[in-house]
Structure formats: structure tokens, C-alpha cells
Amino acid sequence: MQSSYNVHIKRIVLILFIILVVGLIAKQVLTPDSFGIYGHYRADAIHDEVNREIRHMTNASCEPCHEYESENLATGFHKKLSCEFCHAPNADHAKNGKKIAVMSVTEKKNINALCLRCHNDSLWARPEKIIKTVRMPEHLKDQEVRLNNVCSQCHYVHAPLKYINRPEKAKKMQETSL
């Protein structure tokens, strides 16, 4: 009687021991290497996130190739705009300093919608000190131009007010020469 009782105890202890060993081995194998370095997570995940591809660069990264546009942008009223918002991310256009695809340029028929994203006066909450807004088509009527004109016909998109007085000047020159 006594001996068989001992066997039971031994069996239970042995099974528990095996479960413990298998569990420890499984934990060792299944836990990622970097788990728990900083906390209850895989520290390599930080590394993965850091290595994500940067798709948007800055305006400074466009400057080496597009000097004329960059200079106009930096000196005009659109100096705070990001090139990549109106065009497309740098990663779609250049890789390692070399051009890989043509950058998108907004078509004429879509340019009004693009400009009005910011400059639409019919929305409130656009204070005068932050942004100059216009109401369409009243603005076209005020300026006495055709109602199907698009913004970029009068405004140079990279520096919107740089050449705005040219038509007037040309008109005056014409008048004086007559």
C-alpha cells in the first residue's frame, strides 16, 4: 500500500516537472529576442518603426534640382507651403537623388479646386490675418475677367502676387505709347 502511494506522488511530481520544463523551453523559443528590454514589448518594434520609408521630404530637398521654383516659392506669399502637397511625395518622384517618375502637376481644370481648399471665403473660420480669401465667382467679376478663367491665368502659383500687376503695367505702357 505504502509503496504504490509513493509511486503516485512521484508520477505527479514528474509530470509537473515535465510541464515546467516544456513550458520554460516553449517560453524561451516563442518569446522574441528583444522582448522586455524596455518593457513588456518587443524592443525591435521600435527599430522597425524607425526604418519605415520616409516618403515626404522637405522643400529643401526639391531645391537642388528646381532652383527657380524654389526661389520663387521662398520669396513669395506661398513660402509656407510644402511642395509635396500640390505635387506628390518626393518618394514617388526621386530616389537616391535620381528621378524615377514624372511629378504630377495639377491640371488647369482642377487648379481652382486646389486653390480654393485654402482660399475659399464661403467657409468661415478663415481669419484675414492668417489667409487671404476670395469668393468665387465674385472675385472674377470684381477683377473684370472672364468667368471661366482659372486662378493660374493671373496668379503665378509659386509666388501668387509676384506678377499680378503686369497686365496693368502693360496696359499703361500701351496707353502711353499711343
Partner 1 sequence: MKKKNQTPDLKRRAFMEKILKGTIAGSVFLVIPAGPLICKIPEQIKGIRGNKYEMTSKKFAFIVDITSCIGCGSCCVADKREYNVPDHNYRTWVERYIKDYDDKVYVDSPNGALDGYHGPRKDIKKPIRDTFFVPKLCNMCKEPSCVQVCPVGATFKTPDGFVLIDKKHCVGCGYCIQACPYSARFLNPETNSADKCTWCYHRVRKGLVPACVNACPTGARQFGDLNDKNSNVFKKLNGPGVISVLKKEMGNQPALYYQGLRREVI
The residues binding partner 1 (CB under 8 A) are: 32, 35, 38-58, 60-61, 63, 67, 71, 80-82, 84-85, 88-89, 96-97, 113, 116-118, 120, 122-127, 130-131
- Nearer of residues 14 and 60 to partner 1, judged by Cβ: 60
Least CB distance to partner 1 at residue 163 (A): 20
Q: Distance between CA atoms of 155 and 164, rounded to whole angstroms?
A: 6
- Nearer of residues 88 and 154 to partner 1, judged by Cβ: 88
Least CB distance to partner 1 at residue 75 (A): 11
Least CB distance to partner 1 at residue 23 (A): 18
Least CB distance to partner 1 at residue 134 (A): 13
The answer to whether the peptide bond before residue 127 is cis (omega within 30 degrees of 0) is no
Q: Pick left, alpha or beta for residue 177 (phi over 0 → left; psi -120 to 50 → alpha; otherwise beta).
A: alpha
Q: Distance between CA atoms of 147 and 138, rounded to whole angstroms?
A: 9
- Nearer of residues 117 and 171 to partner 1, judged by Cβ: 117
Least CB distance to partner 1 at residue 99 (A): 13
Long-range interactions of 145-151: CB distance < 8 A, separation 24+ = 150/108, 150/109, 150/111, 150/112, 151/111, 151/112, 151/115
Least CB distance to partner 1 at residue 18 (A): 27
- Nearer of residues 9 and 130 to partner 1, judged by Cβ: 130
- Nearer of residues 61 and 152 to partner 1, judged by Cβ: 61
Count H helices, E strands: the chain? 8, 2
Handedness of CA 90, 96, 98, 100 (dihedral sign): negative
- Nearer of residues 71 and 172 to partner 1, judged by Cβ: 71
Q: Distance between CA atoms of 26 and 31, rounded to whole angstroms?
A: 8
Q: Distance between CA atoms of 34 and 46, rounded to whole angstroms?
A: 10
